[in-house]
Amino acid sequence: MTPALELDALTKRFGEKVAVDRLDLTVEQGAFLGLLGRNGAGKSTTLKMVTGLLRPTSGRIQVLGMDLGTDALAIKRQIGAMPEDMALLDMLTGPQYLRFVGRMYGLEDAIIDRRAAELFEKLDLEPGPKTAIADYSFGMKKKVAFCAALLHAPRILFLDEPFEGIDAVTNRTIKDILLGLQARGVTLVLTSHILEVVEKLCPQIAILDEGRLKGAGRLEELRQGAESLERLFVDLVGGAQTGELSWL
Amino acid sequence: MAVGPVRALLAAHVQGSLRRSTREFTKQGVWALVLIGVVLATFVAVPAGFGLFMAGYTLAPRLAGPNAEAPILVLGALLAGLVGPGALLGALLGGSKKLSWEQYRAFPLGRLRLLLAELIAGLGDLLTGCLALGLLVFCLGLALGRPALLPLLPLLFLEHLGLLMVLQLLLGSLALRVAKRLKLAVGILLGLTWLASMLLSMQEPGHGRGLPPAWGALLQAAASHLLPFLRALPTTLAVRGLDATPSGHWGTALLLQLPLLALTVLLAAGTLRLLEREQEALAPVERGGKAKLWSFRTPLGGLARLQFRTLLSSHHGKFGFLMPLLTVVLLKGPMARAQGQALWALPGAFAYLALFGNQFQYNQFGLDGHGVKGLFLLPLDTRQILAGKLRGYALYQGLQAVLLIAMLVPLFHPSLVALAASLALAICFFLVQSALGSFTSGWMPRRIDRSTLRNNQMPLPLVLLGVLVSLASTVLFGGTYALLAWLAPAFLLPGMVAWAALCYGVHRKLMPQAATYLDGRREAIVEAMG
């Protein structure tokens, strides 16, 4: 089967700084990959390149066998993305935004409204009917962005820090939704700093450090006796410091 | 070395402002600004400073003796003039809150410290900085003109500087509040522009440039009523106190400073309250009713509607609907007596209206802010996005044109042909702006704040380019209009329609290239929008 995502020597430079350095990664269809790394490791930059927001300095991105350089629009119809900063058109209300996004994917109004209502109910999202997204709380914005990423039933879902700023109950709902999607064959790639979440959700992980791939594969195989994902992560990226402060 | 909280706040503000300016202006922009600064300093600031110094120097010796009343009044009025209108002008030019209060509230800082830092930060505004320097030079003139005044001069300088800073912040915050209530702002502006146009058009051609006789009497009456007001001004009282120091009447001297100090403290308290209320007003607003959901057949329709909505949700966009009114006021007011108005009034009106569109057309993603990423994630190619935006802008500027026509018809009684030709001319302007803007939007993208009416932050090269292109378009299209209207009126409409058709053809030809260019600049746009 054609892989859902193939990155071939993917590199991104910002001036002198190399954010992503010759990254090779393959994600099979139906996989659930957790992309891990410290702050500035290159996770968000990788997702931005994969979703077409950033242009790679070199290397190749293939999504469902299509090249992002030449088939960007066809790829965008198949993927859903939730950037870390959500990137919402915040002058609209939540329902207006979802209607706009849904129509851009060619969905009928009735379908959009039905799906939006279901998502809002599941995520316990009840904004004021005329309140613009700009006035939503951080968590509410995150939920709207999540809804927008799912609305058109994508085959691959890219989520950048989806659990940040989300309450515990909704957190649980989102996890259930994601596991349900995986069961139905949707490919999922998410980044998170919360290792426990990744450990519970993602059978596969890839660890980035300073733009380079430090390890990738099935979590069970990578562990090789290590006690936890946290231990594995710290062993791979290094740099752990003692927790003592000189003035306290 | 320990640094006080106010100094730390100011240092953070200065560092942030400098970094932002360097990033936004680029090297050429900084050089251009330096050049403009040198020119302004040479031809405006230095002569004005010299004038203020000489005013202080020559008036200081006359403050003593039986004829001191007139110089005291003049000095009081001069200081009031520097502080009052100076602060108002500074406020209108953007002199409102500079520091991020919401961010600094997390620190253990008292409200007064924040206010003090805010006031000092206000001195960074070009105009306020110049006024403060002017005040200093003026006081130096006073000191050199009569050294006996020196002991109280630092207090005189500081209290006036304080009043200037407080007034500017207060007026700036009030102006921002008014601007946020756009209906009120539009009402005030309408009233002011109507008044201005009435006053300007009161000058009948037969009366030459002087004031009508009735005005002279009115001014004399006003002057006689003004003297008691001048005497009671806190600035005049402060100057009077200055005169008490050489004779050793320190009690009187200090007592006479009290009204000015009290006024400053009172205004500072009011300003603090206002700024705190602004903070409280930041809480999200829950609105009743239900927002209408959009439905559209094609993505283009949705993009056009989104663009139109984005424009209308911004203060700048709403302000655009005042432009037709301002255009008519200009034509009926200052330009009313210019020669050959019949030939140029209509094309001039549409050309002037089009000028306002520059800021949006040359920076088409500016109002999208970080939402531009959401737009780029959608399965839309850049040509679609450009075309959708073009439709949105066309609707926005088209509505303004309709408004302008509605005002021009009863005032100028233009013929249908002239109106149609003027509309064709407006279309030419619009298409030229749009074609060029499709490239400049990727070349120098800049975020436009939707919630303020401050400057639109167009980079200097874009401002200069906009002026050049507008001039060229005015010469080309406006010139054709005037020539045809003068020499061959029968060809006016076909001629202008031909120009519009040509512009449309060129626009269509350029769009694929613009889309390709923007594709290569998506990253720069995303980065610029935050």
For A38-48, write each residue's pLDDT tens digit: 988 999 999 99
Q: Any idea which of B71-85, B118-132, B217-231, B238-252 has the lowest mean pLDDT?
A: B217-231
**In the prediction, which pLDDT does B29 show?**
66
CB A30 within 8 Å of CB A187? yes
State the pLDDT confidence band at A21, using cuts at 50, 70 and 90.
very high
State the pLDDT confidence band at B430, using cuts at 50, 70 and 90.
very high
**In the prediction, which pLDDT does B208 show?**
46
What is the average per-residue pLDDT within B82-99? Answer: 75
Cα(B513)–Cα(B505) distance, rounded to whole angstroms? 14
User: Could you identify the residue written with the tokens 């710290």?
Assistant: A234
What residue in A sits closest to B378 (Cα-Cα)?
A76
More confident residue, A217 or B178: A217
Q: Any idea which of A69-73, B57-61, B316-320 has the lowest mean pLDDT?
A: B316-320
**In the prediction, which pLDDT does B117 show?**
85
Which residue among B294, B373, B450 places its CB closest to the CB of A87? B373
pTM attached to this predicted model: 0.75
More confident residue, B411 or A27: A27
CB A155 within 8 Å of CB A80? no
What is the average per-residue pLDDT within A13-35? Answer: 94
Confidence check: pLDDT of A72 > 60: yes
Q: Is A55 on the interface with B (CB under 8 A)?
A: yes
Return the number of CB contacts < 8 Å for A and B: 106
Mean of the per-residue pLDDT values of chain B: 82
Contact A90 B371 (CB under 8 A): yes
Q: Is A141 on the interface with B (CB under 8 A)?
A: no
Confidence check: pLDDT of B283 > 70: no
Neighbours of B496 (CB within 10 A): 27
What is the average per-residue pLDDT within A162-183? Answer: 91
Cα(B198)–Cα(A108) distance, rounded to whole angstroms? 55
Q: Is A89 on the interface with B (CB under 8 A)?
A: yes
Contact A53 B373 (CB under 8 A): yes
Contact B294 A99 (CB under 8 A): yes
Cα(B209)–Cα(B223) distance, rounded to whole angstroms? 22
CB B295 within 8 Å of CB A109? yes
Enumerate the domain spans of chain B. Answer: 5-199+231-280, 299-529
**In the prediction, which pLDDT does B206 show?**
47
List Cα–Cα distances, B487 to B343, B421, B491, B495, B500, in angstroms: 11, 15, 9, 12, 20
State the pLDDT confidence band at A192, using cuts at 50, 70 and 90.
confident
For A114-130, write each residue's pLDDT tens digit: 999 999 999 988 887 78
Cα(A66)–Cα(A79) distance, rounded to whole angstroms? 12
Chain B residues closer than 8 Å to A113 by CB: 293
CA B257 to chain centre: 34
Contact A135 B285 (CB under 8 A): yes
CATH architecture of A5-237: 3-Layer(aba) Sandwich (3.40)
Enumerate the domain spans of chain A. Answer: 5-237
Q: Is A71 on the interface with B (CB under 8 A)?
A: no
More confident residue, B292 or B511: B511
Cα(A60)–Cα(A23) distance, rounded to whole angstroms? 10
What residue in A sits closest to B297 (Cα-Cα)?
A103
Residues of B with CB under 8 A from a CB of A: 284-296, 299, 302, 306, 309-310, 313, 368-381, 450, 520, 522-523, 526
Chain B residues closer than 8 Å to A100 by CB: 294, 302, 306
State the pLDDT confidence band at B304, using cuts at 50, 70 and 90.
very high
**In the prediction, which pLDDT does B2 show?**
58
Contact B293 A87 (CB under 8 A): no
What residue in B sits closest to A129 (Cα-Cα)?
B290
Confidence check: pLDDT of B466 > 90: no
Q: Go through B464-484 and write b for each residue having 16 or more CB atoms within 10 A of its CB, e for each that does not.
A: ebbeebbeebbeebbebbbeb
The torsion of the CA quartet B88, B89, B95, B96, rounded to 10 degrees, works out to 40
**In the prediction, which pLDDT does B185 show?**
63
Kindly give the pairing relationship between strand A17-27 and strand A5-14.
antiparallel
Which residue among A101, A113, A128 places its CB closest to the CB of B378? A101
CB A24 within 8 Å of CB A8? yes
**In the prediction, which pLDDT does A223 show?**
79
CB B121 within 8 Å of CB B10? yes
Confidence check: pLDDT of B222 > 80: no
For B471-508, write each residue's pLDDT tens digit: 899 899 989 998 999 899 999 999 999 999 999 999 99
Q: Is A76 on the interface with B (CB under 8 A)?
A: yes
Cα(B157)–Cα(B131) distance, rounded to whole angstroms? 12
Contact B309 A83 (CB under 8 A): no
What residue in B sits closest to A84 (Cα-Cα)?
B373
Chain B residues closer than 8 Å to A142 by CB: none
Q: Any idea which of A108-122, B24-38, B111-125, B391-405 has the lowest mean pLDDT?
A: B24-38
Q: Any idea which of A206-220, B328-342, B353-367 has the lowest mean pLDDT?
A: B328-342
**In the prediction, which pLDDT does B190 show?**
65
For B388-408, write each residue's pLDDT tens digit: 999 999 999 999 998 888 888
What residue in A sits closest to B304 (Cα-Cα)?
A100
Contact B374 A88 (CB under 8 A): yes
Mark which residues 33-52 of A lie under 8 Å from B by CB: 51-52
Amino acid, single-letter form, for residue B29: G
Find, among B305, B287, B314, the residue nearest to B389 by Cα: B305
Q: Is A136 on the interface with B (CB under 8 A)?
A: yes
| Tokens encoding B159 | 């209290």
Counting Cα atoms < 13 Å in the Cβ hemisphere of B289 gives 8
Q: Is A83 on the interface with B (CB under 8 A)?
A: yes
What residue in A sits closest to B305 (Cα-Cα)?
A100
State the pLDDT confidence band at B212, using cuts at 50, 70 and 90.
low
What is the average per-residue pLDDT within B233-249? Answer: 84
Provide the strand spans (E) within B284-404. Answer: none
Q: What is the ipTM for the molecules in this complex? A: 0.89
What is the average per-residue pLDDT within B402-421? Answer: 87
State the pLDDT confidence band at A87, using cuts at 50, 70 and 90.
confident
Contact A130 B290 (CB under 8 A): yes
What is the average per-residue pLDDT within B147-172? Answer: 89
Confidence check: pLDDT of B353 > 80: yes
Mean of the per-residue pLDDT values of chain A: 91
Q: Any idea which of B25-39, B283-297, B405-419 has the lowest mean pLDDT?
A: B283-297
Chain A residues closer than 8 Å to B295 by CB: 99, 103, 109
Contact B379 A92 (CB under 8 A): no
Chain A residues closer than 8 Å to B378 by CB: 76, 101, 104-105
Tell me how close the Cα of B307 comes to any Cα of chain A, in angstroms.
11
Which residue among A87, A91, A105 places its CB closest to the CB of B313? A91
Q: Is A91 on the interface with B (CB under 8 A)?
A: yes
| Tokens encoding B512 | 């694929």
